[in-house]
Amino acid sequence: NGYLFGESTGAEHIVHENGHQFAVDWETGQKTGFFIDQRDNRALLARYSPGRRVLNTFCYTGGFSVYALEAGAELVHSVDSSKKAIALTERNAELSHHADRHAAYPDDVLTFLKSHSAEYDLLVLDPPAFAKHLSARHAALMGYKRLNAAGIAHLAPGGLLFTFSCSQVVSPELFEGAVLAAAIEAGRPARILHRLTQPADHPVSLFHPEGAYLKGLVLAVE
């Protein structure tokens, strides 16, 4: 991160996406400060959000949270282990003018899921990459299974799970298998409503299929 020309003024940086405002930290934040590869998936989530209780985990800047709030979610809870990320999410909830329906928790996601008993109607699992090398793939799949089983346990009957992996070495088929194993472990039947990926401005070369790093599922959980 840094400037090619000029220097920081210390001013707040605001970006716009599909009519939503976000304060971002492109100086010290993760990567570019805002994950635009989830743009289309955030818009899809907004369609399902009205009237629902939403939990957004690994929230970072609160992208999914803001879309849910502005779409009319009953309430939105955001969780991230980074206090800086939580501060950004709270600021972005303020920019949405719906902070009264939002609560943020600076906590490890698995710890939060294990220590809270609340039920939600829509839950987002969007963790950082669990594996960057083939040698770590098996452990990553076990991690996805554990995380998704914990998330599914918090869904009310008929709830929706938006779950993602950005690990290049985990194929869509392997990820789907891990989520299936999680649903079996949780004892909850589930149907796939959508298979998700990155938007068109993140193209994938035929000669480098690993470029399709982002994969996701939307499940209806009974």
What digits encode the pLDDT tens for the residues 10-25? 778 899 999 999 998 8
* Domain carrying residue 106: 35-221
Is 166 among the catalytic positions? Answer: yes
Selecting among 44, 73, 166, 174, the annotated active-site residue is: 166
Q: Does some domain include residue 17?
A: no
Statement: the pTM of the whole predicted model exceeds 0.75: yes
Q: Does some domain include residue 9?
A: no
**Quick one: pLDDT at residue 134?**
87
d(CA 65, CA 89): 8
pLDDT band, very low/low/confident/very high, at 26 (cuts 50, 70, 90) = confident
Q: What percent of the chain has pLDDT over 90?
A: 79
Q: Does some domain include residue 171?
A: yes
134-151 pLDDT, tens digit each: 888 999 999 999 999 999
Long-range residue pairs from 187-195, CB within 8 A, at least 24 positions apart, any chain? 188/152, 188/155, 188/221, 188/222, 189/221, 189/222, 190/152, 190/161, 190/219, 190/220, 190/221, 190/222, 191/219, 191/220, 192/217, 192/218, 192/219, 193/160, 193/218, 193/219, 193/220, 194/44, 194/218
Q: What is the CATH number of the domain that holds 96?
A: 3.40.50.150
**Quick one: pLDDT at residue 168?**
86
Arithmetic mean of pLDDT, 196-216: 92
CB 77 within 8 A of CB 90: no
Instruction: For residue 197, count other CB atoms closer than 10 A to its CB.
Output: 17
Q: Does some domain include residue 199?
A: yes
> With 80 as the cut, is the pLDDT of residue 4 above it?
no
pLDDT band, very low/low/confident/very high, at 58 (cuts 50, 70, 90) = very high
**Quick one: pLDDT at residue 31?**
65
Query: What's the domain count of the chain?
Result: 1
Q: Does some domain include residue 150?
A: yes
Q: Does some domain include residue 28?
A: no
**Quick one: pLDDT at residue 156?**
98
> With 70 as the cut, is the pLDDT of residue 1 above it?
no
